[in-house]
């Protein structure tokens, strides 16, 4: 339901938007298929390539498919998509009362477009619960094979059994324990897992975690049953879009070998955030959805200690009001030392990554995480919990591992995080070591190259089946 450059709530949008470019480099042609939200109308109407009705129960809903300049196909269905917000509530991902209707419109449109020849595909790649129905429709139609990617197992697309009719599928055939049913309700995530030809998730670490009861969100049994049909493929980042050497959003550009401009970025960030301009103070911060998952309350819990330790802190984020209140309170208690930049601001996020010394990401779970990768590329040393994709991307730095890129906390607890931040601050106080770790982080290969190859292998695998 989200994909850069058309819409974005979190990292999935970046991934879905940048994977096609990486696949293109391998000679794989792909077409993005995503809703036509109002923020796109202003920029681009595209060419209408098809129009048809999607029937839900007895009612037709007119859908127009619009192909835009970069080849993406957008689904224009005003009742479903002509409104602001992707999910309306980024915390649950399922905020709109008619969420299921919107998901069904998108996926029936894809199904009909493929079935009636408006679009052609050898393989269909679906992303997260909002597209978990499409593998079922394709199986039902004898359509192309599908790959289904779990970006975040916590958002499962659970709806009451009474809403099953919206899917247009036969209850007897599909609403069973081995299909949609999840404790009496219907789960779009489970549908995707059960009907796709191959399931991937966004890091090997997360793939290993979600088959355990502790991290499986109730679906660990279904995931274990997939066996080798569950594969972890680490996300990459768009290193063209995210390049501090050319980034026009920054006060000054810089790179791992021409670092001078970075100081200007740090100064500009302090000024923007209203923090005291003192380069000897380590500047810590986060760019994040403010949710329980991201553990920002843990940063809140160690804040008094962090302030005594002489650090500054800036948070760019939006979400849970209680956690935001905590940081708002802190800006009053420690003026010039703590700043809250509340809201969602893409350009500002680049400026924060480029200005921070230390990037904090104490996630309670993290399927992959892109923020820590952007932070590394922009020279902010990550301090993260040892979860999912964080442990796959942040190699720890210490005297035995001088090629490390960050610091890992064993647990998402205040005590563990405080220990990790303390170690990072100690390293910050040793300029030679600090330069080294920062350079390691900036030079780490975070590109799509290896992962795009892994997706190509996944597509070949389902084609052979």
Q: Give the number of residues in contact with ligand ADP, rule: CB under 6 A.
A: 18
Residue in 345, 411, 443, 447 binding ligand ADP, rule: CB under 6 A: 345
Which CB atom, from 15 or from 166, has the smaller least distance to ligand ADP? 15
Spatial separation of the C-alpha atoms in residues 342 and 355, rounded to whole Å: 17
Which CB atom, from 132 or from 319, has the smaller least distance to ligand ADP? 319
Which CB atom, from 281 or from 409, has the smaller least distance to ligand ADP? 409
Residue in 222, 306, 316, 340 binding ligand ADP, rule: CB under 6 A: 316
The angle that helices 414-428 and 431-443 make with each other, rounded to 10 degrees, is 110
Residue in 206, 374, 378, 434 binding ligand ADP, rule: CB under 6 A: 374
Residue number of the CB closest to ligand ADP reads: 11
Which CB atom, from 34 or from 349, has the smaller least distance to ligand ADP? 349
Please report whether residue 234 would count as binding ligand ADP according to CB under 6 A: no
Write out the E strands in 28-183: 33-35, 47-56, 59-67, 73-76, 124-127, 146-150, 158-159, 181-182
Rounded (5°) CA angle 300-301-306 = 80
What is the maximum span of the chain, computed from C-alpha positions, in angstroms? 70
Cis peptide before 169 (omega within 30 of 0): no
Residue in 299, 370, 409, 452 binding ligand ADP, rule: CB under 6 A: 370
Q: Residue 368 Cβ, how far from ligand ADP at the closest point, in Å?
A: 6
Task: Compute and round to an integer the Cα radius of gyration of the chain.
Answer: 23
CA 386 to chain CA centroid, nearest Å: 18
Please report whether residue 201 would count as binding ligand ADP according to CB under 6 A: no
Stretch 422-461: interaction string toward ligand ADP, x if CB under 6 A: ----------------------------------------
Nearest to 33 by CA among 75, 5, 64, 61: 75
Q: Residue 178 Cβ, how far from ligand ADP at the closest point, in Å?
A: 30
Write out the E strands in 26-134: 33-35, 47-56, 59-67, 73-76, 124-127
Stretch 9-28: interaction string toward ligand ADP, x if CB under 6 A: -xxx-x--------------
Which CB atom, from 111 or from 127, has the smaller least distance to ligand ADP? 127
With beta carbons less than 8 A apart as the criterion, state whether 31 and 72 touch. Answer: yes
Please report whether residue 369 would count as binding ligand ADP according to CB under 6 A: yes
Q: Residue 439 Cβ, how far from ligand ADP at the closest point, in Å?
A: 22
Please report whether residue 349 would count as binding ligand ADP according to CB under 6 A: yes
Of the candidate spans 6-14, 138-146, 167-175, 265-273, the one that interacts with ligand ADP by CB under 6 A turns out to be: 6-14
Residue in 101, 334, 344, 411 binding ligand ADP, rule: CB under 6 A: 344
Stretch 260-299: interaction string toward ligand ADP, x if CB under 6 A: ---------------------------xxx----------
Please report whether residue 317 would count as binding ligand ADP according to CB under 6 A: yes
What are the backbone angles phi and psi of residue 293, rounded to the nearest 5°?
Answer: -50, -40
Kindly compute the dihedral angle of the four CA atoms of residues 395, 398, 403, 406, in this order, to the nearest 10 degrees.
40
Which CB atom, from 26 or from 347, has the smaller least distance to ligand ADP? 347
With beta carbons less than 8 A apart as the criterion, state whether 355 and 286 touch. Answer: no
Q: Residue 293 Cβ, how far from ligand ADP at the closest point, in Å?
A: 7
Which CB atom, from 195 or from 242, has the smaller least distance to ligand ADP? 242
Of the candidate spans 111-119, 156-164, 274-282, 363-371, the one that interacts with ligand ADP by CB under 6 A turns out to be: 363-371
Please report whether residue 371 would count as binding ligand ADP according to CB under 6 A: yes
Q: Which residues pair with 290 in a beta bridge?
A: 319
Nearest to 23 by CA among 457, 371, 444: 457
Rounded (5°) CA angle 286-289-294 = 70
Q: Residue 4 Cβ, how far from ligand ADP at the closest point, in Å?
A: 9
Which CB atom, from 138 or from 287, has the smaller least distance to ligand ADP? 287
Rounded (5°) CA angle 333-336-340 = 75
Spatial separation of the C-alpha atoms in residues 195 and 158, rounded to whole Å: 17
Long-range contacts of 22-30 (CB under 8 A, 24+ apart): 22/236, 22/447, 22/448, 22/449, 22/451, 22/452, 23/452, 23/455, 23/456, 25/452, 26/452, 26/453, 26/456, 28/456, 28/459, 30/125
Which CB atom, from 90 or from 145, has the smaller least distance to ligand ADP? 90
Residue in 253, 255, 264, 318 binding ligand ADP, rule: CB under 6 A: 318
With beta carbons less than 8 A apart as the criterion, state whether 362 and 354 touch. Answer: no
Q: For the sheet containing 73-76, what is the strand order?
A: 33-35, 73-76, 59-67, 47-56
Of the candidate spans 5-13, 73-81, 188-196, 423-431, the one that interacts with ligand ADP by CB under 6 A turns out to be: 5-13
From residue 86, how far is each of 93, 154, 187, 386 by CA, in Å? 8, 17, 19, 30
Give the residues lining the site for ligand ADP (CB under 6 A): 10-12, 14, 287-289, 316-318, 344-346, 349, 369-371, 374
């Amino acid at each position: 339901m989200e994909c850069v450059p058309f819409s974005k709530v979190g990292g999935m949008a970046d991934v879905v938007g940048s994977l096609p470019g990486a696949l293109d480099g391998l000679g794989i042609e792909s077409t993005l298929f995503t809703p036509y939200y109002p923020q796109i109308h202003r920029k681009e109407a595209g060419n209408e390539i098809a129009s048809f009705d999607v029937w839900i129960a007895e009612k037709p809903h007119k859908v127009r498919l619009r192909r835009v300049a970069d080849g993406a196909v957008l689904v224009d269905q005003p009742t479903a998509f002509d409104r602001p917000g992707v999910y309306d509530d980024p915390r649950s991902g399922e905020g709109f009362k008619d969420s299921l209707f919107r998901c069904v419109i998108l996926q029936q449109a894809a199904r009909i477009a493929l079935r009636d020849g408006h679009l052609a595909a050898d393989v269909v790649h679906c992303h997260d619960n909002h597209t978990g129905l499409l593998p079922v429709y394709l199986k039902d139609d004898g359509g192309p094979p599908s790959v289904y990617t779990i970006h975040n197992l916590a958002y499962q697309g659970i709806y009451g059994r009474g809403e099953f009719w919206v899917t247009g599928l036969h209850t007897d055939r599909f609403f069973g324990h081995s299909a949609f049913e999840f404790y009496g309700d219907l789960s779009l995530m489970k549908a995707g897992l059960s009907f796709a030809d191959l399931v991937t998730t966004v890091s090997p670490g997360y793939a290993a975690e979600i088959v355990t009861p502790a991290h499986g969100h109730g679906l660990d049994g279904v995931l274990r049953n997939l066996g080798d049909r569950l594969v972890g493929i680490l996300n990459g980042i768009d290193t063209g879009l995210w390049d501090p050497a050319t980034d026009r959003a920054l006060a000054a550009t810089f790179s791992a070998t021409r670092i001078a401009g970075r100081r200007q970025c740090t100064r500009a960030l302090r000024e923007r955030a209203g923090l005291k301009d003192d380069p000897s103070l380590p500047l810590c911060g986060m760019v994040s959805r403010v949710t329980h998952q991201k553990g920002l309350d843990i940063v809140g819990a160690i804040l008094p200690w962090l302030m005594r330790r002489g650090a500054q802190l800036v948070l760019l984020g939006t979400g849970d009001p209680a956690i935001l209140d905590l940081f708002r309170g802190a800006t009053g208690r420690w003026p010039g030392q703590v700043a809250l930049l509340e809201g969602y601001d893409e350009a500002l996020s680049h400026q924060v990554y480029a200005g921070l010394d230390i990037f904090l990401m104490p996630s309670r779970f993290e399927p992959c995480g892109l923020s820590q990768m952007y932070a590394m590329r922009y020279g902010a040393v990550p301090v993260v919990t040892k979860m999912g994709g964080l442990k796959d991307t942040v190699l720890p730095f210490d005297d035995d591992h001088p090629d490390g890129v960050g610091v890992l906390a064993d647990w998402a607890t205040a005590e563990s995080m405080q220990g990790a931040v303390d170690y990072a601050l100690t390293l910050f106080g040793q300029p030679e070591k600090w330069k080294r770790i920062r350079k390691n982080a900036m030079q780490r290969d975070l590109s799509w190259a290896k992962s795009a190859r892994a997706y190509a292998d996944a597509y070949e695998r389902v084609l052979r089946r």
